[in-house]
Structure formats: structure tokens, C-alpha cells
Amino acid sequence: MTLSALHNGEVFTGRGLNQEISLWCPGEARWGSHYESLIRLITMFSSVVHVLEIVLEDDISSEQRGEAFALLDSIQYFDFSFCLHLMKDILGITAELSDALQRKDQDIVNAMSLVQISKIRLQDMRDNKWDAFITRVSLFCVEHKIITPDLNDKWIARGRSRRGHQEMTNLHHYRVDIFYTVLDMQLQELNNHFTEANTELLLCIACLNPSNLFSAFNKDKLIKLANLYPSDFTSSDLMILDNQLETYITDMKLDVQFSLLKDIGSLVEKMIQSRKEILYPLVFRLLKLALVLPVATAGVERAFSAMAIIKNRLRNGIGDQWMNDTLIAYVEKEILDCIVNDVIIHLFQNMKNRMYKL
């Protein structure tokens, strides 16, 4: 369809044009981009095969011809189509959860709801969706002239000797060894990362969110949160906190300067500016605990991605201090943009005596 549209002049080639029908380049730390890539590949599969065939026939580079041959051999195989659709379905189930966890203004309550929904959908896919899934994969293979194996035949590992392998049918291999195994791994990962205790902790922290005039506030859950930190809150502190939370929430709702806050970080800043952290020390302690709680956010993912970029093959011997300084400069670009060059030059010049002045 894409090729005919190009020949008929309905769409045009060029940089930045027709991106809705081009292959999507996935990001290293954004799973949503992988989902888009798989959808584009399924939609444009015939065009991809056609382009690879052109490269195989016409390209003068033996290296590119070899890569094109290897890719054609791989993607025109049933295993590739099976895994392509399986990963597309799994990433589709967790797409909204992934987006919710990567947003800076995280809505923890809705995110935790999406965790439960993802678990339910993955379990339902495992228990009830095999027949519909294998039918969809088979139709895709028929459409693109890919040989579909008989599921009742004996499975033979491609490119390997038949000796020493456990005998099984194609049905067992694709359904049990791949379909069930991958879905079980996804469910296990979600259960490991979002246990019942972790989920309850996050929901309690969400009650501190000041957005929508502190609509998420729940005193009972905040008392429960304080109970999780016995070294920070004594039994007498808990009794004081019960009353202090009532005064605190009434004050926050009456004070206009707190009405437009969107996250816990801005709430802490405003409390310090207005010196209310002195009035509500126990509530402020809860806020500090919420800020330092090591939750896996998009910021943490970006920091690890930056680490892979900073400490590359050419900087393999970089020291901890140098890497730390470089990572701060790379990750906190918005803050560094606010610092004028004269300040940086002055600081660098005063670090030690130098022969020349910048």
C-alpha cells in the first residue's frame, strides 16, 4: 500500500515527511517507542521485505548485501512473526502503565490502578487468548507468504542437530516454551516491582499530593505511612501527628499560595518559603520521607541512560568524581542553562593559579 501510494504520487518521500507511515526509531529507555516500532513493522512488513530485496539485488556493498540477506532470512520465518506479535501484544497491554510511570507529574493512584489492570490483562491473555493469538499470527504469515508449521508436527530447532534435543510438538514449543514463559516472566516482573506492600506505600504517599486543592488527602493513610517508619515516628509522635494533620490540611486549603501546587516537591519548597515547616514538623518529616523514597521514575531511567553515554569506550577509565560531575552537567541541563558563562569561567579561573586568563 505504501509503495503504490508513492508511485501514484499520493505521498512524497523526504526528510520529515509522512512520518506516520515510516519505521519508528525506538528509544533505549522508553518502552512506548518500542511498541510503536513493532506496530510500524507489522503495518509495513511487505514494504520492508521489498526494500531488503532491492538492497540484496542492487547494492554494491557486500557487507550490506550480507546484512540484507540475513535480515530477509530471519523476518520471513514463523518464529519472527510469532515473537513480533507476542511482544506487540504485551507492550500494548503495558503501554498506558509505561507512559504513566514516565511522566514527571506522576499520578500514583492511577499508575497503581494501571499496574493491577496490566496484571489482569496479562493473566487473561495467558489463560484465554492463545487460540485468537495463534490464528492472528497464522493469518499474518499467510498474507506475507511465510511458511506456517503444523502445530501437531515434531518441533525441530532451526539450524541445530536433532540429536540430544527433547522431543516435543510445535504446539508445545510455541505455546509453553514461548507464549506461557514470556507472559509468566512479565507477570513475575510486575509482581516483583509492585508488591502489595510497595503498592500500599505508594498509595499512602499519593495522599500528600497537593494537586486539585489537596483532593487526595487521607489522614488515615498518612498515619499508616508514619507507622511504616518506627525509627522516625515514636508512639507519641503518632498521636501528635493525628491532630497536626487536621490543622495542616485546613491551613493548606485556606492559604491561597498553596492552591496551585502540582507536586510534593513544589509543596515542600512553598512550605519552606512560608516557614510552615516549623509549624508542622511531623507533616514536613513525612514530606521529606516521600521525596527521598527511592522510587523508579523516568528521571532515574534517564540518569542510567546518561551513564551509558558518558562512560563509553573512550572514557572507560573515568574516575568517580569526574563521572559524577559530568553526569550532573548532562542530566541537569535545564539548571545549567540558567548559569551564565561568566560565572563558570570565574569559578574555573579561581580553582588554582593559571598561566593564562580565560
pLDDT tens profile 63-82: 888 888 888 888 999 999 99
Tell me what pLDDT residue 106 has.
57
Decide if 57 contacts 73 (C-beta within 8 A).
Answer: no
Q: Report how far apart, in Å, the C-alpha atoms of 65 and of each of 57, 69, 72, 80, 159 are.
A: 8, 6, 10, 20, 21
**CA atoms of 74 and 81, how far apart (whole Å):** 10
Tell me what pLDDT residue 12 has.
43
Backbone angles phi, psi at 89, to 5 degrees: -65, -40
Q: How confident is the model at residue 9 (pLDDT cuts 50, 70, 90)?
A: very low
Q: Is the pLDDT confidence value at 28 over 90?
A: no
Mean pLDDT of 306-314: 74
Tell me what pLDDT residue 249 has.
93
Least confident of 226-240, 251-265, 297-311: 297-311
Tell me what pLDDT residue 91 has.
93
Which 3 state secondary structure label does DSSP give 154? strand
Mean pLDDT of 147-168: 76
Tell me what pLDDT residue 2 has.
47
What lies within 8 Å, CB to CB, of 253 at 6+ separation is 213, 214
Q: Is the pLDDT confidence value at 17 over 50?
A: no
Tell me what pLDDT residue 192 has.
86
Tell me what pLDDT residue 107 has.
63
Mean pLDDT of 241-260: 91
Decide if 111 contacts 100 (C-beta within 8 A).
Answer: yes
Tell me what pLDDT residue 112 has.
82
On average, the pLDDT of the chain sits at 82
Tell me what pLDDT residue 15 has.
45
Mean pLDDT of 169-178: 93
Tell me what pLDDT residue 19 has.
46
Mean pLDDT of 267-282: 92
Decide if 248 contacts 256 (C-beta within 8 A).
Answer: no
Mean pLDDT of 261-268: 86
Least confident of 124-128, 252-256, 348-352: 348-352
Mean pLDDT of 52-61: 79
Global pTM reads: 0.65
Tell me what pLDDT residue 105 has.
56
**CA atoms of 242 and 299, how far apart (whole Å):** 33
Which 3 state secondary structure label does DSSP give 14? coil
